[in-house]
Amino acid sequence: MARAQKIMVVRHGEKPQAVSPPYGVTADGEQDADSLLVAGWTRAGALADLFAPSRGPLQSPDLAQPQYLFAATDEEGTKSKRPVETLSVLAQKLMLTTNTTYTVGQETQLATAAMACDGAVLVGWEHKHIPLIANAILGNTTAPQSWPGDRFDMVWVFDLEAGSSNYSFSQVPQLLLAGDQPDPI
């Protein structure tokens, strides 16, 4: 059975607050409360270079160029497009299709599908539910059990341990935009 060697999880890019402006915008520049802010689109573009550099090696040896992409298709019953939008630039660059089969609330099923992939996996998800993905991959609660609402700048990395079916956990700071923090969550 195939087993993903590396699973990486990012929170979707920056989003509008309850009181706008600034407003979310679609890829076509149309105002949309369910889409990323301009800063989120900037992060989406920077993530494409983080995971698939146009020149040189990856920024961190703990990351890998993904062969599989997964993104949540809704956020607690809303019509959020942010996880898919966050991975869209990378998907275009790598000519990959983003798997949008799983919704928020299906973290265990997503983790099972990601672990069954043969290669590196990148997941874009809603921050409140990322710890549930970690718990499903690790089989325990050793990863942080909350993701701060103001953090868009971290990659959670799960590496398959040699000779085992267990995964180890680490965090890699993105350090892509002004204000990104180097400290783990």
What percent of the chain is predicted at pLDDT more than 70? 95
Query: Does any domain span residue 181?
Result: no
Query: Does any domain span residue 61?
Result: yes
The Cα–Cα gap between 61 and 56 comes to 12
What is the pLDDT at residue 23? 87
DSSP string, the chain: ----SEEEEEE------SS-SSPPB-TTS-B-TTS--HHHHHHHHHHHHHHS-SSSS-S-TT----SEEEE-S-STTS---HHHHHHHHHHHHHT-PEE----TT-HHHHHHHHHTSSSEEEEEE-GGGHHHHHHHHHTSS-S-S---TT---EEEEEEEPTTSS-EEEEEEE---STT---S--
What is the pLDDT at residue 75? 54
Query: Does any domain span residue 87?
Result: yes
Q: What is the CATH number of the domain that holds 169?
A: 3.40.50.1240
**Which pairing describes strands 6-11 and 120-125: parallel, antiparallel, or unpaired?**
parallel
What is the pLDDT at residue 77? 53
What is the pLDDT at residue 22? 85
Contact call for residues 67 and 121 (beta carbons, < 8 A): yes
The pTM assigned to this predicted structure is 0.94
Span 99-120, mean pLDDT?
96
Query: Does any domain span residue 81?
Result: yes
Query: Does any domain span residue 183?
Result: no
Pick the more confident residue, 1 or 124.
Answer: 124
Which of 12-26, 55-69, 72-86, 127-141 is least confident?
72-86
Structural domain boundaries, residue 36 = 6-173
Query: Does any domain span residue 178?
Result: no
Query: Does any domain span residue 179?
Result: no
Query: Does any domain span residue 127?
Result: yes
Asked whether the predicted pLDDT for residue 95 surpasses 70, the reply is yes
What's the pLDDT tens digit per position in 121-137? 999 999 999 999 999 99
179: pLDDT confidence band, cut at 50, 70 and 90?
very high
Q: How many alpha carbons lie under 13 Å from residue 43 in its C-beta half-sphere?
A: 30
Number of domains in the chain: 1
What is the pLDDT at residue 76? 56
